[in-house]
């Protein structure tokens, strides 16, 4: 396992981090499954565990808390808030009112008195940066969080938040958690350069592109992954975008074979090769998944292999741009772009 400094914090984290979205109902994992995965991940050198209040409606946090009991100080623990937690309109977003309340809920579910990294799961356009950063700064001063970061922010919002922190003398985001994989490279255009400019640690989620790069999705093979059952439209190869992904996967499989690598090693080695990326978040649902992903911990891709990947998916290109979750609101709501 490689270790890297998380932005400018001085905290050293593993280049592969354990994402726990699959803990509980989403991945159909039991507490015993989750504990076994955490045990094996820590034994394999992982020291960063990432969860969120949203995952299973708090179930993932509860499972993580039980799995890390007695060894909290050996783990860099991260969670997230801001996504809707039920139908109540104020149980979401980046307001002080909600973040103060929901952090206490997360700490209770995790069974800890603080988290190392508290992340705003998505930018909340209805709340000012000053409001959110002020609340996070106070929570840090109270000792309930050590650092705070953003997740899936467009580049211009990352910049705006940095300037708001400077202008109002508040704490700043020290990390960004974007989606990044060989098939989704759009963040190379703006998000990763901005993250480097401001010294942010980058925790890349979905480095296996929702399983497209796991080796389980190939031409002529029935797709039976858990993710394909949850989101079948993303794996329907009669759709043009998915056809393009499958064509790319077939070419990438040839590159992996020639380099003597698994598809997982190729995919994770690609993400962790970018100088802006601190860690790739793996999200295993089973121990077998975890071991296959940990096998990529020391993978270093040669320049020839990286060049070959560039020839399949050009730098800065998203093969499924419609699945991006950082789209500016004005592109989704017509009323915001019309007088």
- The residues pairing with 12 across neighbouring beta strands, listed in sequence order, are 5
Structural tokens at position 38: 């955490």
- Eight-state DSSP code of residue 171: -
Q: What are phi and psi of 283, to 5 degrees?
A: -130, 65
127 with 161: CB under 8 angstroms? no
- Write down the catalytic residue from 3, 55, 118, 147: 55
Structural tokens at position 57: 């409606």
DSSP sequence for 21-77: TTTTTTTT--HHHHHHHHHHHHHTT--EEE--STGGGGHHHHHHHHHTTT-GGGSEE
Task: For residue 210, give the nearest of 16, 21, 47, 61 by alpha carbon.
Answer: 21
225 with 211: CB under 8 angstroms? yes
Neighbours of 189 (CB within 10 A): 14
Helices (H), 198-239: 226-230
Helix (H) or strand (E) holding 49: strand 48-50
Report the alpha-carbon distance of residue 85 to residue 58 in Å, rounded: 9
- The residues pairing with 115 across neighbouring beta strands, listed in sequence order, are 145
Is there a catalytic annotation at residue 55? yes
Neighbours of 279 (CB within 10 A): 31
Q: Name the residues annotated as catalytic.
A: 55
């Amino acid at each position: 396992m490689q270790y890297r400094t998380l932005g400018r914090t001085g905290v050293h984290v593993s280049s592969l981090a354990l994402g726990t979205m699959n803990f509980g109902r989403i991945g159909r994992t039991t507490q015993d499954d989750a504990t076994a995965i955490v045990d094996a991940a820590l034994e394999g050198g992982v020291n960063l565990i990432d969860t969120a209040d949203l995952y299973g409606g708090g179930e993932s946090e509860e499972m993580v808390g039980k799995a890390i009991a007695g060894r909290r100080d050996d783990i860099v623990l991260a969670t997230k808030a801001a996504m809707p937690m039920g139908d109540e309109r104020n149980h979401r977003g980046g307001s002080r009112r909600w973040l103060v309340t929901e952090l206490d809920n997360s700490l209770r579910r995790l069974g800890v008195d603080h988290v190392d990294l508290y992340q705003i799961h998505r930018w909340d356009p209805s709340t000012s940066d000053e409001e959110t950063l002020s609340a996070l700064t106070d929570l840090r001063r109270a000792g309930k969080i050590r650092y705070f970061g953003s997740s899936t922010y467009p580049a211009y919002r990352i910049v705006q938040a940095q300037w708001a922190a400077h202008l109002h003398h508040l704490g700043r985001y020290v990390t960004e958690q974007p989606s990044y994989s060989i098939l989704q490279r759009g963040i190379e255009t703006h998000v990763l350069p901005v993250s480097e400019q401001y010294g942010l640690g980058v925790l890349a989620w979905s480095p296996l592109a929702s399983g497209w790069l796991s080796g389980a999705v190939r031409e002529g093979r029935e797709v039976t992954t858990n993710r394909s059952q949850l989101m079948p439209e993303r794996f329907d190869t009669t759709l043009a975008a998915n056809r393009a992904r499958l064509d790319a996967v077939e070419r990438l499989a040839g590159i992996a074979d020639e380099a003597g690598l698994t598809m997982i090693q190729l995919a994770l080695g690609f993400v962790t090769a970018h100088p802006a990326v601190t860690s790739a978040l793996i999200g295993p649902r089973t121990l077998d998944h975890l071991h296959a992903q940990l096998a990529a911990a020391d993978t270093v891709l040669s320049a020839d292999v990286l060049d070959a990947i560039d020839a399949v998916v050009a730098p800065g290109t998203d093969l499924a741009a419609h699945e991006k979750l950082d789209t500016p609101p004005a592109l989704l709501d017509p009323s915001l772009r019309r007088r």
